[in-house]
Amino acid sequence: MIRRLWKHFIAPFDPVLMIGLGLLVSASLIVLYSASDGSLAMVGRQFLNIMVALTALWLISSMPLHYLLRSAVPIYVLGLILLLGVMTPLGVNSHGATRWLNLGVATIQPSELMKIGVPLMMAWYFEKHEASLTLKNYFVATLLLAIPIILIARQPDLGTAILIAASGFYVLFLAGLSWRVMLVTLVAGLAAAKPLWSVLHPYQQHRILMLLHPETDALGKGYHTMQGMIAVGSGGFLGKGYMNGSQTHLDFLPERTTDFIFAVFSEEFGFIGAFVLLGLYLFVIARGFVITAEASTYFTRLLAGSITLTFFTYAFVNMGMVTGILPVVGVPLPLISYGGTSMLTLALGFGILMSIHTHKQLVKT
Amino acid sequence: MKFQAELRNHQREIHLFRLRLLLCLGFVLILLLILLGRFFYLQVVRQSDFRTMAETNRIKPMPIPPNRGQILDRNGVVLARNYSGYTLEIDPSRVSNLEGTIEELSRLVTITPKDLRIFKKLKAESHDYASLPIRSRLSDTDAARFAAQQYRFPGVEIKARLFREYPFRESASHLIGYIGRITQDDKEQLEEDEEVASNYLGSDYIGKGGIEQRYEKELHGTTGFEQVEVDAGGRGVRTLSRTSPVSGNNLVLTLDAKLQEIAEQAFGNYRGALVAIDPANGEVLAFVSKPGYDPNLFIDGIDTETWDELSNSPDVPLLNRILRGQYPAGSTIKPFMALAGLHFGTRTPEQTIRDPGYYMLAGSSHHYRDWKTGGHGSVDMFKAIQQSCDTYFYGLATEMGIEKMHSFLSQFGFGNKSGIDIDGELTGLLPSEAWKQDHLHQKWFAGDTVSAGIGQGYVLVTPMQLAFAASIIANDGIAYRPHLLRQLQTSGKPAQPVPPVQPVFDMHLAPDDIDLVKRAMAAVTQPGGTAAWAGSGAPYTIAGKTGTAQVIAIKQNERYVESQVGERNRDHAWFIAFAPAEKPRLALAVLVENGGHGGVTAAPIARKVFDYYLLNKVPQPLQASAGKSGGEHD
């Protein structure tokens, strides 16, 4: 009886993925303890975030796939409504950006919902027109992607907008968007780059400029990038040792429990540590690819592929930003950075992946 | 059939999807490799660069300024010292509303309008990140009151500092000079030498005049450094290592503070200058330029109002009259002229002239008047010096010629810097034909020589030059460089013995010549001499020479009547002297501005100085405060 119950309980979990995720969140707790200068309270809160995320993961992964398929449109529409709501007086302005919505009981960030909502909607759309895909379908899908992106970019939240754009593009790409169209779009995009540049907010322009020459403004906007690079570089091959990073513990690193946590990790664990971390991410991503390849329907294939690639994109953008090859866009390191929202969003993604994996046989039969 | 086509279509679709997925995997692997390459570049290839940057971030050298050396007189009386106190400092870069903060502060501690004016001036002059004093020498109650409220004032701090103090204030201000805050200009100059610049990293003050400036290097000391681990806000976390600062040297001057005080008092309300030198070694014992100024005013920056008052005063207190006041030498040049006449054989001691009260050049009707109407009658060299006969020296100068006069007198230092160890000395002017041609583009006239013979015309001297020249006569033609530094005391080390001073040159004067001039100078302070009153009743003999430097020119047909010219147009009075005449221990030059005749105003000042130095006699008004300062004199 108990064994059956237990089996039912763990059945939705994909063991391989769980090992990878478990190792990454364990690393999160360890690094966070150092990044917060030994704050057990912070580690405790992150543990709670992980537990909440684990619950969500379990709920999603045990949910039958047709629920997911049916929920695509409502989630997308709800997301759009909330995004529009941000533009009403209910929107909460902070640091010059209006990204939050005050619902009375809680303040939420609708763009987080769209991280899942957009690929879900696009995969649903392609599934619906699977039998006869024409260029028009790709155009409509692009429109479904463009609307939330424009709304988010206007908030302004360039980082999230770019990441959602990436997740949508992965769907288009996997759905077989022709190379010719991609090439034409790319050329058109490059031509539009100059007018687009002028549309960007000055601080966004500055961040991109700083990326090219961080050392020219070491005390100004390039400070974050420079201090991140110093932390990573000074870690050396073996690292300075756990809790021993001077950049971390003397406050030189900005945002060291969130966006720059990778710098803390690299300073204290060195190249070896960073290598192992990359390995862990690759392990999770590879499992994602396997699940994608084995997915049984068009919808689940597109969705699983997009989720896996988006997860990779988050990790790449964050590490690229900290090490100075990408602009500072304010993206947390997935599964490592402190924060409940990001953890929950990731759990939703991995929950869907696991659900796709566990339910594929059921669909087949 | 249709089903099969759909199935094939489905297969094709899966094939296409897998191909795309494979491409994605390749894309992921390439980007991961790029990241790995980046990690390798940062953490392995450039590791040492970033290590250094992290260390530079982490460790800041904090300078520890050394204690500035004290300045003492020859008997150990302190002329410049340090005392510790509190100062309230504002770092403008950390204060958003400066006006408001100062307003708030003034409710808590005393901040005078003068403090504010100085602060504003400092702010305008200082570089960006400096913290500036708003109030120096905080009282204990103010310090305590602020300390309790400090949390309300980010960017405002109480700092314990050493303050410089000049206890003698106006007295000897021109000699000691002062220190002042390092300005942007000073900074640029310091930065020319990297080593010097690093030694001043923690220093706020630098010597700005007199001894403080000249011996800045000796007084400043060596800055110590602490390697402090700091956080991103620049706050010190812990000290990693420390190199202690080395205090500056104490300077022992040749000055006798008591003698200085007596000389200064002797001037009364007169303006002027006095330099007293030990002829046997060139040690300067008194260095008076009146009026002086309070050097304490300059330390933290003088406010504009007080500065204007000082710099616009008709008494020019900021002028160092000893080194930078250039006056006609007047009759004080006569003993030197006499020596020149004997040296070149232009005159013998016995040769006499008849003085009708004026001198005329051959072929001219112009009268060069003697100061004594009707003249001195028959005059030889001795009498010419004793009574300061102008006619005698008009003739002597004319016969000798300006070139010989120039070459001989320049040996006494006229027209040259004495070389005393204070900056800013002027050379005065000993004219020559070449000089006039070069500077005025005019021919030298015979009349120019006549005027030069009694120290008028183009001749200009500083009190320093006359004192130096007097000391050379006193020492029979052997010159010692006048100097103020007697000894350097390095802290923690026993005092070094005073190094013997070498003469700079010997004029090899004929003993008979110098003897005659010295005897004649001694007669000046005896009955029948021009300063007889100053010498009366002294148990030692003063050898001296009076002089008068004209302030305004008197026309050919007019006479100078002291009571008729305005006070500021009155002649300056000179007196040069050494005593005892037989074995001189002190030589000096006294200038009394608008003092009239040298024998009346300048010579009595010299007498008081000699009385104290030779007899240890303190003048009446000073006796009350006599025991307070100054060591006993031998």
Residue pLDDT, tens place only, B382-408: 999 999 999 999 999 999 999 999 999
Spell out which chain B residues touch chain A, with contact meaning CB-CB distance below 8 angstroms: 13, 16-18, 20-21, 24-25, 28, 31-32, 34-36, 38-40, 42-44, 46-47, 49-51, 53-55, 57-58, 229-233, 237
A292 touches B: beta carbon within 8 Å: yes
Whether residue A176 lies within 8 A of chain B, CB to CB, comes out as: yes
Q: What are the residue ranges of helices labelled H in B378-510? A: 381-386, 390-400, 402-409, 433-440, 446-453, 463-474
- Decide: residue B269, CB within 10 A, 0-12 exposed, 13-18 middle, 19+ buried: exposed
d(CA B42, CA B39): 5
- Asked if residue A310 lies in contact with residue A163, where contact means CB atoms within 8 angstroms, the answer is yes
Compute the average pLDDT of residues A127-149.
91
Mean pLDDT on A39-49: 94
Q: At residue B330, what is the residue type?
A: G
The dihedral built from the CA positions of residue A140, A141, A147 and A150, taken in this order, carries a sign that is negative
CA nearest neighbour of B302 among B176, B162, B183, B160: B183
Euclidean distance between CA atoms A49 and B99, whole angstroms: 48
For residue B570, what is the DSSP state? S
Q: Do A233 and B17 touch (CB under 8 A)?
A: no
Number of CB atoms found within 10 A of residue A74's CB: 11
Ordered alpha helix ranges (H), B525-634: 532-535, 598-615, 620-623
Max avg pLDDT among A181-185, B35-39, B94-98, B530-534: B35-39
* Residue closest to B324 by CA, chosen among B425, B248, B227, B223: B425
Q: Do A250 and B58 touch (CB under 8 A)?
A: yes
CB nearest to B35's CB, from A231, A235, A320: A320
Q: What is the pLDDT of residues B567-603, one digit of tens each?
A: 777 889 999 999 899 999 999 999 999 988 877 899 9
Give B26's Cβ-side CA count (13 Å radius): 6
pLDDT score, position B8: 66
| CA–CA distance, B70 with B602 (Å, rounded to integer) | 33
Three-state SS letters, A106-139: CEECHHHHHHHHHHHHHHHHHHHCHHHCCHHHHH
| Cβ proximity of A13 and A58 under 8 Å | yes
Of B20, B47, B233, the CB nearest to A174: B20
Q: Which residue has the higher pLDDT, B521 or B118?
A: B521
- Preferred mutation among A226, A246, A333 to probe B, highest tally of B CBs within 10 A: A246
The total of other beta-carbon atoms located within 10 Å of residue B492's CB is: 7
Question: pLDDT tier at A215 (50, 70, 90 boundaries)?
Answer: low
Pair B428, B458: CB distance under 8 Å: no
Distance from chain centroid for Cα B324: 11
DSSP structural state of residue B43: I
Query: Do residues B323 and B177 lie in contact, with contact meaning Cβ atoms separated by under 8 Å?
Result: no
Query: What is the nearest CA distance from A324 to chain B, expressed in angstroms?
Result: 9
Q: Does A330 touch chain B (CB under 8 A)?
A: no
Q: Is A299 on the interface with B (CB under 8 A)?
A: no
* B619 prior amide bond cis, ω within 30: no
CB contact set of B413 (below 8 Å; sequence gap of 6+): B465, B468, B469, B472, B479
- What pLDDT score was predicted for residue B153? 84
Let me know: does B324 contact B426? Beta carbons within 8 Å: yes
Give the chain A residue nearest B41 (alpha carbons): A233
CA dihedral A104, A106, A110, A115 (to 10 degrees): -160
Q: Is A323 on the interface with B (CB under 8 A)?
A: yes
Q: Quick check: B621 pLDDT over 70?
A: no
Q: Residue A19: pLDDT above 80?
A: yes
Confidence check on the interface: ipTM exceeds 0.85, yes or no: yes
- Mean pLDDT of all residues in chain B? 87
User: Which of A256-270, A296-310, B64-78, B545-559 is the least confident region?
Assistant: B545-559
Mean predicted confidence (pLDDT) in A168-192: 90
Q: What pLDDT, on a 0 to 100 scale, did the predictor assign at position A320?
A: 94
CA nearest A298: which of A133, A60, A73, A100?
A133
Q: Which residues, other chains included, contact B495 with Cβ-Cβ below 8 Å and sequence gap of 6+?
A: B487, B489
Q: Looking at residue B627, what is its pLDDT? A: 38
Return the bridge partners of A327, or none.
Answer: none
B247 is catalytic: no
What angle do the packed helices A110-128 and A135-153 form, to 10 degrees?
180
Rg value, chain A, Cα: 21
Written as one letter, the residue type at A355 is: S
Q: DSSP character for B298?
A: G
Residues in chain B with CB shorter than 8 Å from the CB of A301 are: 17
For residue B21, what is the nearest residue in chain A, using CA coordinates? Answer: A174
Entry pTM? 0.68
The size of chain B, in residues, is 634
From the CA atom positions of chain B, what is the Rg in Å?
36
Residues of chain B positioned with their CB less than 8 A from the CB of A251: 231-233
Residue in B with minimal Cα distance to A294? B18
Confidence bin at B626 (pLDDT 50/70/90): very low
Chain A positions touching B36 (Cβ under 8 A) are: 274-275, 278
Confidence category of residue B6, pLDDT binned at 50, 70, 90 = low
- Max mean pLDDT range (A89-98, A269-278, B99-108, B525-534): A269-278
Q: Which of B126, B331, B418, B471 is catalytic?
A: B331
